[in-house]
Amino acid sequence: MLIPCPYCGPRDLSEFTYQGDANRTRPNPMSNDQSAWNAYVYERVNTAGDHREFWQHSGGCRAHLAVVRSTLTHEIKSVAFAREVAK
């Protein structure tokens, strides 16, 4: 795979670390809603198709990227800095 890092340009898979499903939202830190925390920590949509996920360019600029990628073909549909998506 080749992941187009918004800073570094397209880079080889070997430079990246997968950081998991990006469909989850961390509950309000003050919340004690266990089902919300359980969903955040343990539940996955595990999409067969376009999947929102985080990758860190750990062997490059170290930015976390929010990537949409097909889990059927590995085709990357979009990439953005995770910071910008998280805001």
Partner 1 sequence: MSPRRAHNGGRIDRSTTLRFTFDGTAMTGHAGDTLASALLANGISVVGRSFKYHRPRGVFSAGIEEPNALVTVIKGKLREPNIPATQIELYDGLAVESQNRFPSLAFDFGAANGLAGNLFAAGFYYKTFMGPVAGPLKGTRFWMFCEHFIRRAAGLGRAGHEPDTDRYEKMYGFCDVLVVGSGPSGLMAAKHAAATGKKVFLAEQEPEFGGSLRWKSAAIDGRPAADWVAATLADLAALPNVTLLPRTTVWGYYDDNALGALERVADHKAHAALGEPRQRHWTIRAKDVVLATGAFERPIVFPGNDRPGIMLAAAAARYATEFGVLPGERIAIFANNDSAYEAALALKDAGAEIAAIIDVRAGVSIAARELAREAGGELLLGYAVTNTSGARRLREIEVQAFADGKVKDGATRAFAVDCLAVSGGWSPAIHLASQAGHAPQWDEALQAFLPPAPTQPWTGAGAFTGAYSTSAALGDDIAVSEPEIEYEPAPVFEIRPTGKKSGKAFVDLQHDVTASDIRLAHREGFQSVEHLKRYTTLGMATDQGKSSNVPGLAIMAAARGLPIPEVGTTRFRPPFSAVSLGALAADRHGHFKPERLTPMHDWHVARGARMYAAGLWYRPMIYGTGGETVEQAYVREAKAVRASVGIVDVSTLGKIAVQGPDAAELLDRVYTNLFSTLPVDKARYGLMLREEGIAFDDGTTWRLGEHDFLMTTTTANAGKVMQHLEHYLDCVWPDLRVHVTSVTDEWAGAAVAGPNARHVLEACVEGTAVDNDALPFMGIVRGEIAGAPVMICRLSFSGELAYEVYCGAGHGQHVWDALMNAGQQFDIVPYGLEALGTLRIEKGHVTGAEIDGRTSPRDLYLDWMLSKKKPYVGSAMVDREGLVAADRVRLVGIVALEDRPLQGGAHIVERLGEEPRGSIGHITAFCFSPALGKYIALALVKGGKARHGQRAFVSDPVRNRYGPVEIVSHHFFDPEGSRMHG
Partner 2 sequence: MVEIVSPLEPDYHRGAHGNRDGGSAVTLSETQPGSIVQLAAWPGQDGAMRALVKTVTGLDLDAAPGAGAVDESSAAFGFAPGRWLVVDQIEGLAETLREKIGNDLGTVCDLSHGRTAIAVEGEKAERLLSKFYALDFSLAAFPVATAKSTAHHDVFTLIQRTGADRFDLYVYRSFARSFWHLLCASAEEFGYTVE
Partner 3 sequence: MAEYSFLSLLRNALSGNEDWKPAWRKPDPRPSYDVIVIGGGGHGLSTAYYLAKEHGITNVAVLEKGYLGSGNVGRNTTIVRSNYLLPDNIRFYEHSMKLWENLSHDLNYNVMFSQRGVVNLAHTPAQMDEHARRGNAMRHEGGDAVLLGREEVARMVPGLDMSARARFPVLGGLLQPRAGTARHDAVAWGYARGADRRGVDILENCEVTGFLREGERVVGVTTTRGEIRAKKVAVAVAGSTGRVMKLAGIENLPIESHVLQAFVSESLKPLVNQVVTFGGGHLYVSQSDKGGLVFGGDLDGYNTYAQRGNLPLVEEVMSELLAMFPNLARVRLLRSWGGVMDMSMDGSPIITPGPLPGMFLNCGWCYGGFKATPASGWCFAHTIARGEAHPLNAAFTLDRFARGILIDEKGQGATPKLH
15: phi then psi, degrees, rounded to nearest 5? -90, -5
Strand partners for 78: 68
Kindly state whether residue 1 participates in binding partner 3, applying the rule CB under 8 A: yes
Kindly state whether residue 21 participates in binding partner 3, applying the rule CB under 8 A: yes
Kindly state whether residue 41 participates in binding partner 1, applying the rule CB under 8 A: yes
**Which residue has 């999947």 as its token pair?**
51
How many Å apart are CA 60 and CA 44, to the nearest integer?
A: 28
3 to 42: interface string for partner 2, x by CB under 8 A: ---xxxx-xx-xx---------------------------
Kindly state whether residue 54 participates in binding partner 2, applying the rule CB under 8 A: no
